[in-house]
Structure 1
């Protein structure tokens, strides 16, 4: 899981970051609302924590922008000392999926983050076999079948293919793909990712007539688009 924290209080950032990393998740931190807003434009996060009052842009302004400009925004959690009922209502109505009032324990904050991530991926089934049109994924054997025929993929190619099918129609940034498949958000080599995606496209015959296409999202990353309705 990849989490972004935006808060101008370094003590809060350090507390929450330690809890997230301690649970084995990746964390990126920001001290300015404008910085996290720019990051959301170019990166993919599973959950975003927002303070209300920050320089550059408030948490509410970031929420409002995301609601208007991102087709499938990540789950946002307001983490703020503002505790009035009016503020809570405004935060939730603007787009936050949860509202946590500071100070709060690391354990509770981590539980809220993980719950938000689970809700964000609730549509992803956990069965061994997942079917998408002519494609069938065996998550135990780490194999793809196309029209019943097993396709030989490397480990990284399988992880990439499965990640795209599990995040249908969701833009995935290059940094997110690196972190989920290679275990790092560093750009190990841009052509490495492009080469692997090219191979996945070719080996799985991802094209409109087969119902699915991996599209390039220029300046951001990639997105799996659907051309049929999936049960």
Structure 2
């Protein structure tokens, strides 16, 4: 799922992001309510996770605003350090679909997210093909090793690569990449996507030599494919 997370604490952000990405989800992080409000007008999210205490608003007010003024129909998981019954009731009355108290526990967080997704009708994609041993994703440090050698990537390059690695064998369209990685939705030039993919292909040697090939699909997008590892020339870009 594509999940928006509204949490201003950077440690909590990193923790939630790590849990969700490890479970195969795509994550967009926001520290302020105004950032999330702008984002949902431009992007498509399957689920939102919203913290109570925020620098520019109250999480409960954000939930109410999304339901009443932004026409947000998707599931919302509300998180807070408070476990009082009145707070749980108030969050649910404002429009939250579930409530989770801090400190968050990884397995419970993923289970609640999965349950909300099922209730909303989200169908998980088929399991991705196994990633060849030559590639290692270091999710905490946001870099990738190829044949034991670390490859420095920009934050956007890492997010792009992580998306491809999570969907081996699946076609990902350019507009979908723009929406998930760049946060841009609509009729926008996709040249920037092609440029980043070309750079990523070079950096990670995704030409088949290590068992993975990042292929262009004419007029559609890209597909990460497994193949027999061979010492081959790099794919033309």
- TM-score scaled by length of structure 1: 0.55
Q: Partner of 2:188 in structure 1?
A: 190
Aligned to 1:61: 61
Work out whether residues 34 and 55 of structure 1, in 8 Å CA contact, stay in contact via their aligned partners in 2. Answer: no
Q: Structure 1: which 5+ runs fail to align?
A: 127-154, 161-174, 193-198, 200-231
CA distance in 2, matches of 1:105, 1:118: 20
Q: How many residues align?
A: 146
1:1-231 correspondence runs (5 A): 1-121=1-121, 178-179=176-177, 184-186=180-182, 190-191=188-189
| TM-score, normalised via structure 2 length | 0.54
**CA positional deviation for 1:104:** 2.1
Is the 8 Å Cα contact of residues 43 and 179 (structure 2) preserved in structure 1?
Answer: no
| 1:46-77 deviation line (CA, Å, top 9, x unaligned) | 11100001011221111111111233522111
Whether the 8 Å contact between 2:6 and 2:31 is mirrored in structure 1 is yes
**Contact 2:30–2:36 (CA under 8 A) maintained in structure 1:** yes
CA RMSD of aligned residues (A): 3.2
Q: How far has the Cα of 1:14 moved from its partner?
A: 0.9
- Residue 13 of structure 1 and its aligned partner are, at CA, apart by 1.0
Report the 3-state secondary structure (helix = DSSP H, G, I; strand = E; otherwise coil) of the residue aligned with 1:62: helix
Runs of 4+ in structure 1 displaced over 6 angstroms?
none
- Which deviates more, 56-65 or 90-99? 56-65
Q: Which digits, 9 at most, give the CA deviation of each residue in 1:19-44, with x for residues without a partner?
A: 11111110011111222122223221
